[in-house]
Amino acid sequence: MLQKPNHFALFIVLLCLASGAAGCRQSRQYPERVVWAFDTGRDVDASPAVADGRVYIGSDSKKLYCLDAQTGGTIWEFKAGGVMRSSPVVADGYVYAGSHDHKIYCLNAQDGSKVWEFETKGTSYNAPVKRKVKKIKTVVISMR
């Protein structure tokens, strides 16, 4: 049985099924063991995004982490100016995430480099949504 840690750690127990990690039973039950754990150092208040063998998760450490879905190892981390409490969205090679520093960030999914940032004039609590609209390449929306 999983024990709750004294401080928050991201325990990846359901993601092992999504990533196809060895040793995970393909059933609707929780795996019998923790495949890996990652300590963000602070609370996590949003769901992770999983894409292309990677897990993207923000935390109150003001960081967005990119982790290897198989091992839990850190691939990269991005430091924002505020806590990252919105769930990230991964699309077309980019990661979109809102922060309590009143910005939405677009990062390169491969290396975590900042592509752009947008001042929202408010705190972003919700996951950004990416959509293509006629004659407009990309629209990213985040509500507070």
DSSP 5-65: PSS--EEESSHHHHHT-TT--SSSSPPSS--EEE--SS---S--EEETTEEEEE-TTSEEE
pLDDT of 86 reads 86
Positions of the chain with pLDDT lower than 70, given as ranges: 1-33, 122-144
Per-residue pLDDT at 39: 87
Q: Which domains does the chain have, with CATH numbers?
A: 10-141 (2.40.128.630)
- pLDDT for the residue numbered 124: 63
Predicted pLDDT at 68: 93
CA distances from 144 to 3, 24, 82, 107 (A): 33, 37, 15, 21
pLDDT at 125: 60
Q: What is the pLDDT of residue 129?
A: 60
Return the structure tokens found at 42.
Answer: 């602070």
pTM exceeds 0.75:
no
